[in-house]
Copies of this chain bind each other. A is one copy, B any other.
Amino acid sequence: MADKLNWPVFTLTSGPVDAYPAVLRGLGRTVSYDFDPAFQLFYENVAKKAKKAMGLKNAPVILHGEPVLGLEAAAASLIAEDDVVLNLASGVYGKGFGYWAKRYCADLHEVEVPYNEAIDPADVAKALKKRPETRIVSLCHHDTPSGTINPAEEIGAIVAKHGAYLITDAVSSFGGMKIDALSSHSDIFVTGPNKCLGGVPGLTLLGVSERAWKKMKKNPKAPRASMLSILDWQDAHRHDRPFPFTPSVSEINGLDAALDVYLEEGPEAVWQRHALTAKACRAGVKAMGLELWAAREEIASPTTTAVKTPKGVDEEKLRAAARSLYGVTFSSGRGETLGKLTRIGHMGPTAHPIYSTIAISALGGALNALGRKTNTGAGVEAVLATIGKKI
């Protein structure tokens, strides 16, 4: 059936990405009863591994749905009706969080920059100065539809100094570069297993600060006895506490395997191969005469390379050509960036530098097939030269 369905040969997207083989095998472990003592200990163990991987001081929360659940739940739980919220938008995802935030608060203000740019920490400081009553700030660290990174640690320091709470969406950056809840002063730090951890979609991981727990508990509208609840799960990682509802057992099995891969290889080694793959890819893009979407290379993500669609090229046809000629799937833009860029993901198992030669080859070949002459050979040479030097 695979062939009748004409599955891709390579999935070089910014998520869902293919999982590590060890994760795919991990998913196949026996499904246990959630109240079985061995499963409860196993779950606690997985939570401990996640805590270690995330560099947390307290246990993370695992919610049983993909990261939009974590983001929606964070908004619903942390934001109280009378909170003033500052949303930082440098892309479609950052902007989108504002709509959720708006549902739960009366007063939302924003700092917004063009979607190929990054938030300037100085602008955050200014906005907070202008609206000192701001109680919550929300930031998308890696705005995936733009492939750009915001300076989370600097922004976090400003927010912390102000005394506001920070919600950080690090879904598609965590695990692929140095970023964590503590260094970014995040009160709710949202990520998931299906980006740079090379796991599968279906869970959210949340780092929640002690003061965020307190604020949520005081929030009468924070979801309880609900799929959207964070509070329900506060103690669920403990082997002697019940789960509020059935956890996604197989997803937990897969997460366990993904965390093992990450911790055994070592976070720094993982980050380094993400960085090198992206660097090689950007070198290739430029050498073949294309432009990066990011206004400046410093803000280009190490986990996704967004390539500006050349004038006169139909971006949908470009991806279709790469797919049909070479079996390579790229990500499109989303919303405002749709049609303006093509995204090459290098996350988890595809974050090996050699993958950049596939990406550049398929991208260049597809452009040529559409009649837009591109120097693919120069692109591949640049990729190889970059790898050769290591980072």
Contacts and interface: CB of A to CB of B under 8 A. Distances in A.
A325 interface: yes
B202 A3 contact: no
A361 B377 contact: no
A326 interface: yes
A19 B7 CA distance: 16
Contact of A227 (B19, B32, B227): B227
A38 B383 contact: no
Interface in A277-324: 323
Contact of A200 (B249, B352, B381): B249
Given A6-B38, A69-B65, A227-B227, A329 B33 contact: yes
A69 B99 CA distance: 22
Interface string A1-30: 111111111110101111101101111111
A4 to B, nearest CB: 7
Contact of A64 (B3, B16, B65): B65
B24 A30 contact: yes
Contacts of A362: 354, 357
Interface in A219-262: 225-228, 245-251, 254, 261
A31 interface: yes
List the number of copies, as a whole number.
Answer: 4
A132 interface: no
A201 B27 CA distance: 12
A264 B30 contact: no
A245 B36 contact: no
A362 B30 CA distance: 21
Given A9-B354, A66-B64, A388 B368 contact: yes
Given A38-B6, A228-B228, A387-B325, A249 B201 contact: yes
Nearest to A35: B332
Interface string A353-382: 111011001101100110000011111110
A227 B225 contact: no
Interface string A50-83: 0000000000000011111100110000000000
Nearest to A321: B388
Given A201-B247, A227-B72, A376-B384, A31 B18 contact: yes
A42 interface: yes
Nearest to A361: B357
Contacts of A365: 384, 387-388
Contacts of A160: none
A165 to B, nearest CB: 22
A345 to B, nearest CB: 9
A328 interface: yes
Contact of A16 (B34, B41, B65, B269): B34
Interface of A: 1-11, 13, 15-19, 21-22, 24-38, 41-42, 64-69, 72-73, 99-100, 194, 200-202, 225-228, 245-251, 254, 261, 264-266, 269, 323, 325-329, 331-332, 352-355, 357-358, 361-362, 364-365, 368-369, 375-381, 383-384, 387-388
Among all A-B residue pairs, the 6 with the closest Cβ atoms: A377-B377, A202-B248, A357-B361, A365-B384, A27-B27, A3-B265
Given A6-B38, A201-B250, A202-B251, 19 more contacts: A2-B22, A3-B265, A7-B32, A7-B38, A8-B33, A9-B355, A16-B31, A16-B32, A16-B34, A16-B246, A31-B201, A66-B245, A68-B246, A194-B246, A200-B248, A200-B249, A201-B247, A377-B378, A377-B381
5 contacts: A37-B323, A66-B248, A200-B250, A357-B361, A357-B380
